[in-house]
Chains A and B, each alone.
Chain A
Amino acid sequence: MINNLNILLPEIFLTLSIFSILMLGVFIKNSFNLIFNLTSLIILLTVTIILNGSNNEEKIFLESFTRDAFSNFFKILILISSLFVLNSSKNFILDNKLAKFEYPIIILLSILGMFFMVSSNDIILFYLGLELQSLSLYILASIDRDNLKSSESGIKYFVLSALSSGLLLYGCSLLYGFTGSTNFDLISNELGKENTGAVFAMVFILVGLAFKVSAVPFHMWTPDVYQGAPTSITSYFAVVPKVAGLAVFIKFMLIPFSKILMEWQTIIIFISIASMILGAVAAIGQKNVKRLLAYSSIGHIGYALAGLATGVIPGYESAIVYISIYVVMNIGAFSCLYLLKKDGEYKENISDLSGISKKHPMLAISFLVILFSLAGIPPLGGFFAKFYVFTAVVEQKMYALAIIGLLTTVISAFYYLKIIKTIYFDDSVISFDVTKNKFAQLSIFISCSILLTFFLYPSILNNVVDTLFLN
């Protein structure tokens, strides 16, 4: 038992570090900078621990916790994206007086929750991880507690999310009732037989998961929370929990529900189509960049779910590739927002972007690359993400899904073009402060470079993702 603890090493390390920096924060005054830098260090150390560890599949604690290539990939993706989100938003946090030492610690806690989500092989452990993540996110959404909108978004998120967690939990208990086990593998074996009741359980669990990744029709919270929460939190919301949510989605399809995929697929196809359409249509009228990115993220989740809807491994792989590129694009897009500072205030209306191409040509061209990539225009990275997904979809002869999906890309291209129009075709109104936000600039640069050069080695991600499903 003790010998096997190295399987859990990243989680143990993360937990102990969280406790220790929490103590530091309590006893040292004005320790935000220290804690913040330590958090980055902890994230990097956790990455190295995972990379140094083994990728072989092993299960401990009565087979409730799995460590395999799949969970390790997602943990690293979660860590690296959090690292970029956190560091590029540091100036924003300081400028908006959000610099409380709890901030990075709560982020670490939510990461810990996600670790357990992606590693769980048992409903109970999965639910605990999910709750740890959600509770952290509620606090983060309302971290700007004197701001009415931020508090509102926190409450809104909390109420709706609690409801969905309740549904999820109800689904879990039904599942236990019908199969007699909480272990994923045992559930999977049990579902091989005739079991109508389990379909109800599946629907409830699906609702909970769809809420977490903000897929239609459980997306209502997304625009309000994205707009209300401080931008640094929004960027975290838009990136990291989506990765974890998708991982759990795939996990449920791979193990517990692998025998009743038919029912599961029908629902996912609907959710996927609805998300793609709503993401495309509802974003058109938006005037706030954050709100627009919220709808755009709903649409993107729709595309990722289209990959899952295939119900086969290549489809899951394409969804993972999609979400990875989505992460790159969104980190870039939000980092651009951190540079839009005027007299100490961060602008977030689309109209504020008017004509920035004249005064801030580099920022404008980066934004251009990211937006065209989000729209999925070749030769940028976003195109390949969509290409892989639709290749998998067409392979399963789901032509309707592919055609609807691609038509919605045309609609969504419209609102990305509208931002580009504002940046490039309109006359300039504001000139922003010269920012010294080096890390945000670095993440924009990295994001653009990845998107621009992706076409040189478009299979680089696929080769990695291929190894996740070997067993």
Chain B
Amino acid sequence: MDFPILSTLIFLPLVSSLFIFISRGQKNNNSAIYISLFSSLATFILSLFVWYSMDYTSADFQFLEEQSWINDFIKFKLGIDGISILFIVLTTLITPICIISCINSVKDRVKEFLIAILILETFMIGVFCSLDLVVFYLFFEAGLIPMFLIIGIWGGPRRVYSAFKFFLFTLLGSVLMLVAIIAIYWITGTTDVTQIYQIKIPKEYQNLLWLAFFSSFAVKMPMWPVHTWLPDAHVEAPTAGSVILAAILLKMAGYGFLRFSLPMFPLASEFFTPLIFTLSIIAIIYTSLVALMQEDMKKLIAYSSVAHMGYVTLGIFTFTKQGIEGSVFQMISHGLISAALFLCVGVVYDRLHSRMISTYGGLVNYLPKYSFLFIVFALAGLGLPGTSGFLGEFLVLTGTFQKNYLVAMLATFGVILGAAYMLWLTKRVIFGETKNDQIKNLKDVNKSEIIMLGILAFLVIFFGFYPVPLMETLNVSVDNLINNYEIAVQKEGLN
């Protein structure tokens, strides 16, 4: 493959953001919106093309690109496999949706907002494409800058506090990862991920390095007890910001576990499994209970995200095929569902400027289309069979049962709680009597909102019935991951 297709994918949004930057002088925002919409759709189509033309039957990294970068010893290396392509497509799908959503919700400094979103897209695609630890770190951290600005400039009343909390929590987690990356370089002599897979890091270093990576991913994921930045960030961020945060930024951590922690430190991963299981179970049950008590819709969805991410970590660390495939599926499906739920909140927030559950009630009488879509996503969020939310949780639980009955039982309990808070939310927002007179004058969803929510609803139901395209893409890569892990663990057992 001579054409640097992954670099194009990464830098296309960045280049188009430059165009918007140049067109800043104009009063009218239309050209900026068209440029960004067009470029993000082009990126989406390009990513679909990559997905279509890649070879699922091979576990090797494809579309490799290599460029000497820092002092000839660190290479700018890009490549994808069956796991990363799904996240790339998710990113490129969510970005145009965010751009459409900001037509309705962002009134102030629209061009700057679009620039921030496009730059963020560049960094997010970069995270999922990079095959070098330093390149990964670069993109992983760089995403903080646009997200900080998105929360801080366009956010709600407590935006400053939330933006700072988001930035500092994530940075604090990541600096330890940077030390670990540099240490890996001196231990193995390379930061190229594919080479590190071959070299096998000595056992005595694995635990510390694993913890350093964990500190970063746990904050980003977010896992209990370092999840507290997420509800704040979600609540204060503008709709598009919440969508990107929930749909993609959180997935970077899960992806990081799969790409780095598991294959590079298999023995440490095995060793720390009980820790992950405990934290995941606490996340699932505790945050579900917290979600039950929320008065604020965005906060409720934020806590439900933490709980859903608990399933993801649980699944990854079962080291079974079902568990890992389920985790990836859960991440993709949560990306769609949580994005849609935040967009739903955004729709009514744009009209009434309130996120409180108590403001609403009886929407079904006045906004029938909206209510239908909301219910679809709420049901998907609680994992109703026939939606993508069900398959992910089901596979994860299947994988967990093979490892540990107790953990699986407790996790199943979380499913019930999930149903409780989602149904109760639906009941209070959509049904019930209309206490607020303003609701009677609300307009139902407009065209652009129908497009955004419709696409997501279609995908959620489509993957619920027919997950084959995702599973086929994943299959070989996950097999390979588990194989390598088992070989490493068995070798250790023999010694």
Which positions in A face B, CB cutoff 8 Å? 357, 361, 372, 377-379, 383-384, 387, 390-391, 394-395, 399, 402-403, 406-407, 409-410, 413-414, 417, 420-421, 424-425, 455, 458-459, 462-463
Q: Are B138 and A406 in contact (CB under 8 A)?
A: no
B73 to chain A, nearest CB (A): 9
Q: Is the CB of B178 within 8 A of A390?
A: yes
CA A414 – CA B163 in complex, angstroms? 11
- B168: which of A379, A395, A399, A410 is its contact (CB, 8 Å)? A410
- Chain A nearest Cβ from B190, distance in angstroms: 13
Contact of A391 among B141, B172, B185 (CB under 8 A): B185
Number of A-B contacts (CB under 8 A): 85
Can you list the 6 inter-chain pairs with the closest CB atoms, starting with the nearest? A406-B175, A394-B182, A378-B138, A459-B71, A378-B141, A425-B152
Interface contacts beyond A361-B24, A394-B179: sample of 12 additional A-B pairs, CB < 8 Å, sorted by A:
A361-B112, A377-B144, A378-B139, A383-B138, A394-B185, A403-B179, A410-B171, A410-B175, A413-B167, A414-B168, A417-B167, A459-B71
B45: Cβ under 8 A from any A Cβ: no
Question: In the complex the two chains form, is A399's CB within 8 Å of B179's CB?
Answer: yes
A–B complex contacts, Cβ < 8 Å, 13 sampled: A378-B141, A379-B142, A384-B70, A390-B179, A391-B182, A391-B185, A406-B176, A407-B172, A409-B175, A421-B164, A459-B72, A462-B70, A462-B71
Indicate if B183 sits at the interface (CB-CB under 8 A): yes
Which residues of chain A are near B12, meaning CB under 8 Å? none
Closest-by-CB residue of A relative to B69 is A458
How far does the Cβ of A395 sit from chain B's closest Cβ, in whole Å? 5
Residues of chain B within 8 A (CB-CB) of A425 are 152-153, 159-160, 163
Smallest beta-carbon distance B286→chain A, Å? 27
Q: Are B183 and A458 in contact (CB under 8 A)?
A: no
> A-facing mask of B182-225, CB < 8 A → 1, else 0?
11011000000000000000000000000000000000000000
CA distance A458 to B24 in the complex (A): 30
Question: When each residue 108-150 of chain B gets 1 if its CB lies under 8 Å from chain A and 0 otherwise, what string results?
Answer: 0000100000000000000000000010011101101100110
Asked whether B160 lies within 8 Å of A406 as measured between CB atoms, the reply is no
Cβ-closest chain A residue relative to B112: A361
Residues on A with beta carbons closer than 8 Å to the beta carbon of B159 = 425
State whether A378 touches B164 (Cβ < 8 A): no
CB-CB under 8 A from A463, the residues of chain B are: 71
- Residues in B with CB closer than 8 Å to A361 are 24, 112
Check A424/B149 contact, CB under 8 A, given A459-B72, A462-B71. yes
Instruction: With both chains docked as a complex, state the minimum distance between the C-beta of B351 and any C-beta of chain A, in angstroms.
Output: 25
Interface of A is mostly: helix
B179→A406 contact, CB < 8 A: yes
B184 shortest CB reach to chain A, Å: 10
Contact of A459 among B69, B141, B167, B168 (CB under 8 A): B69
Q: Which residues of A contact B24 (CB under 8 A)?
A: 361
**Most B-side CB within 10 Å, residue of A378, A383, A414, A459:** A378
CB <8 Å contact, B142 and A378: yes
* Residues on the A chain within 8 Å of B167, using CB: 413, 417
Distance in angstroms between the alpha carbons of A425 and B109 in the assembled complex:
12
Bound form: Cα–Cα A403–B142 in Å: 20
Q: Is the CB of A402 within 8 A of B182?
A: yes
Residues of A within 8 A of B142 (CB): 377-379
Contacting residues, chain A, for B163 (C-beta < 8 A): 421, 425
Chain B residues with CB below 8 A from A357, complex form: 153
Q: How far is the CA of A391 from the CA of B182 in the complex (A)?
A: 6
Task: Enumerate chain B residues within 8 angstroms of A424, measured Cβ to Cβ.
Answer: 149, 152-153
Chain B residues with CB under 8 Å of A407's CB are: 172, 175
Question: How far apart sit A345 and B492, CA to CA, in the bound complex (Å)?
Answer: 71
Q: How far is the CB of B106 from chain A (nearest CB, A)?
A: 15
Q: Which single residue of chain B is at the shortest CB-CB distance from A402? A: B179
Give min CB distance, B254 to chain A, whole Å. Answer: 21
CB distance from A407 to the nearest CB of B (A): 6
B contact residues around A459 at 8 Å (CB): 69-72
> Which residues of chain B are within 8 angstroms of A413 by Cβ–Cβ distance?
167-168, 171
Contact between A414 and B185, CB atoms less than 8 A apart: no
Alpha-carbon distance A390/B186, docked complex (angstroms)? 12
Do B178 and A406 touch (CB < 8 A)?
Answer: yes
A357 to B185, alpha carbons, bound, how many Å? 41
Q: Which residue of A lies closest to B180 (CB)?
A: A394
Which chain B positions have C-beta within 8 A of A421?
Answer: 152, 160, 163-164
* Chain A residue contacts of B145, Cβ below 8 A: 372, 377
**A293–chain B nearest beta-carbon distance, Å:** 21
A408 to chain B, nearest CB (A): 10
Is the beta-carbon distance between A455 and B138 smaller than 8 angstroms?
Answer: yes
B431 CB to closest chain A CB, in angstroms? 38
Nearest chain A residue, comparing its CB with the CB of B164: A417
Residues of A within 8 A of B186 (CB): 394-395
Query: A109 CA to B148 CA in the complex, in Å?
Result: 45
- In the complex, chain B residues whose CB is within 8 Å of the CB of A377: 141-142, 144-145, 171
CA gap between A108 and B168 in the complex, in Å: 43
